Structure 1
Amino acid sequence: MKRLTRFSLAASASILTLAATVAEAQMYRYTDENGQMVISNTVPQEASRRGYDILNSKGRVVESVAPAPTAEEIAAREAEEERQEAQKRQQEQDRKLLKRFSHPDQAVRAMHRKVRELEGLSQLKRGNISVIVSQLNNEESRAADMERAGREVPDATLEKIRRLEAQVRDIEREIATQNAEIQDLKDGYEADIRRLEEITGEARTLPLEPPEPGN
């Protein structure tokens, strides 16, 4: 019976200690809407947004809760996070760029090679157009001769003329697309060259336009 009593007393003491601890943790100090300092066992929602202190039984601050950030502070924090992310992306891009080229002139030479390759393909396509146009002129001349002679132009001839005209249009579109690709290529390389000049501190010594063949 005495053991039970001692156990009950110990349990009661533990409960009282826990209750005291909880009560102690529930004391708060905050500023109300009038700017007055308030100490209470609860914190109104509006006051919690302004921040508050948690006090112990002796009135000492054991923890401070910062005020909720304002819309301007949130926007500034998000802007700073975005700036840091952009900086990381730029650093990674710079690392890859320097892995490809150690000097702006290397990028200029690479651009010249790529441009020459694409322009060479365009030149071949222009040559194909010349051949097709020659065939087209011959077919149109034959058709005109038939019409002048009062003969009907065969459907096969008319179909061939249409087919040759379509081929010329298709190749011209391919050349236009390739010219746009060449311009995009130049724009990309020129941006890389400018960036290389910034991060290496070295200026390019070669012209951006490729030299004429034979030079």
Structure 2
Amino acid sequence: MSTKLPSLIFLASFSMVTAFPAVAQNLYKYRNHEGVTVISSVMPSDLVNQGYTVLDKNGRIAEIVPPSMTSAQKVQLDHLEKQREKQARQDEMDKELLVLYGSADEILAVMNRKLGELDLKLKELGNLQVITENNIQVKQRQIEKAGDKAPDYLQEELDNLNAQSLDYEKRAKGLKEEQTLLKEQHTASAARFKKLNRNISLESIPAVSRDQVEGQWRIREDVAIDWNLDPSGSFDSFYQELGSYATEKNFGTWQLTNNQIILMIDKKENKDSLGGQTSRRVAEERRIQIINTTESELQILMDGKEVSLNRS
């Protein structure tokens, strides 16, 4: 029997093993129970949750596995995320508040104006309700007088009047709820505005006299603003965003109280970007806080931002 066959099988097996190099194994870097950093080819299963680093054959970081969070940590992280989202929303609301208004008094003035508009609507609804109730009584008397001979259309008219009366009541209730919400929102906004501007110490601002702010002032930055505060008490102003054709002109009277310029606007003229012009009578009041004034510069707080106007 030939002995060459086993030798050939052995040689073939050896050549197959040596033809393929051993696959390089990753290493794991972690801390053991004693807190000592360990690098090993085996990652203990009881330490996986504390996190570890996978190294390639050259010792470079191939992957970082973070520690697993406990239930308490997950709850805390979720709470922090919600707090961040809440703060982001508050920051956006604060930014909008400071852009829209120049002072807390202005916010309350807007509130009172809107409440007045709602009062007028309530009064109109009240008048319509009185008229409707009178018509209901007339229609009821007509039906009672006709008795069994009352035509169907009288009852239909009565039903329509009753439905109309209920609609007026519903609308009046909605307007009253709107008033309540309006008061809550604007009162809270005024308080928030004061808090946002608490770093501006208005008490430390020297008293400003009327003759210091009289005259013509202007600014040419992101917007073009021209003011003419006439010594007689009248004023006119011009406003235009630079790069836009739209403009706004205001006319009225002005006064100075507690370092605030109070503009009482009774007329507005607007021109849109297409050249269309409108002119209307209004009744608006705007309070603008003075921060500082010199012979050539007037620093004010307008739309929540400090603005410097130069005497022209």
**Which TM bucket (shorter chain)?**
0.5 to 0.7
How far does residue 115 in structure 1 lie from its aligned partner after superposition?
Answer: 1.2
Q: Which amino acid aligns with 2:83?
A: R
Per mean C-alpha deviation after superposition, the further-off stretch among 86-95 and 187-196 is 187-196
- Structure 2 length-normalised TM: 0.47
Partner residue of 1:31? 32
**Residues 36 and 86 (structure 1), Cα distance of their counterparts in 2 relative to 1, 3 Å cut:** closer
**Residues 42 and 158 (structure 1), Cα distance of their counterparts in 2 relative to 1, 3 Å cut:** same
Partner residue of 1:41? 41
Contact 1:31 1:52 in 2 (8 A): no
Note if 1:200 corresponds to 2:197: yes
**Residues 101 and 27 (structure 1), Cα distance of their counterparts in 2 relative to 1, 3 Å cut:** closer
Higher RCO structure (Cα 8 Å, ≥6 apart): 1
Partner residue of 2:134? 134
Gaps of 5+ in 2: 1-19, 201-312
Task: Report the number of matched residues.
Answer: 176
Note if 1:72 corresponds to 2:69: no
Residue identity over aligned pairs, in percent, reads 22
Per mean C-alpha deviation after superposition, the further-off stretch among 44-53 and 129-138 is 44-53
**Aligned mates of 2:107, 2:35 — CA distance in 1:** 67
Query: Going by fraction, where is helix more abundant, 1 or 2?
Result: 1
Partner residue of 2:165? 168
Partner residue of 1:108? 108
Contact 2:28 2:52 in 1 (8 A): no
- Structure 1 length-normalised TM: 0.65
**Aligned mates of 1:128, 1:55 — CA distance in 2:** 82
**Residues 188 and 157 (structure 1), Cα distance of their counterparts in 2 relative to 1, 3 Å cut:** same
**Residues 158 and 50 (structure 1), Cα distance of their counterparts in 2 relative to 1, 3 Å cut:** closer
Query: Going by fraction, where is strand more abundant, 1 or 2?
Result: 2
Give CA-to-partner distance per residue, 1:85-144, whole Å, 9 cap, x none: 322221111000111112111111111111111221121111111112222222222333
**Residues 41 and 107 (structure 1), Cα distance of their counterparts in 2 relative to 1, 3 Å cut:** same
**Aligned mates of 1:71, 1:139 — CA distance in 2:** 71
Contact 2:27 2:39 in 1 (8 A): no
**Residues 46 and 126 (structure 1), Cα distance of their counterparts in 2 relative to 1, 3 Å cut:** same
**Residues 139 and 83 (structure 1), Cα distance of their counterparts in 2 relative to 1, 3 Å cut:** closer
Partner residue of 1:89? 89
Note if 1:182 corresponds to 2:169: no
**Aligned mates of 1:65, 1:103 — CA distance in 2:** 53
**Aligned mates of 1:68, 1:74 — CA distance in 2:** 10
Gaps of 5+ in 1: 1-14, 203-215
How far does residue 197 in structure 1 lie from its aligned partner after superposition?
Answer: 2.4
Q: Which amino acid aligns with 2:116?
A: R
Q: What SS does the aligned partner of 2:149 have?
A: coil
Q: Which amino acid aligns with 1:78?
A: D
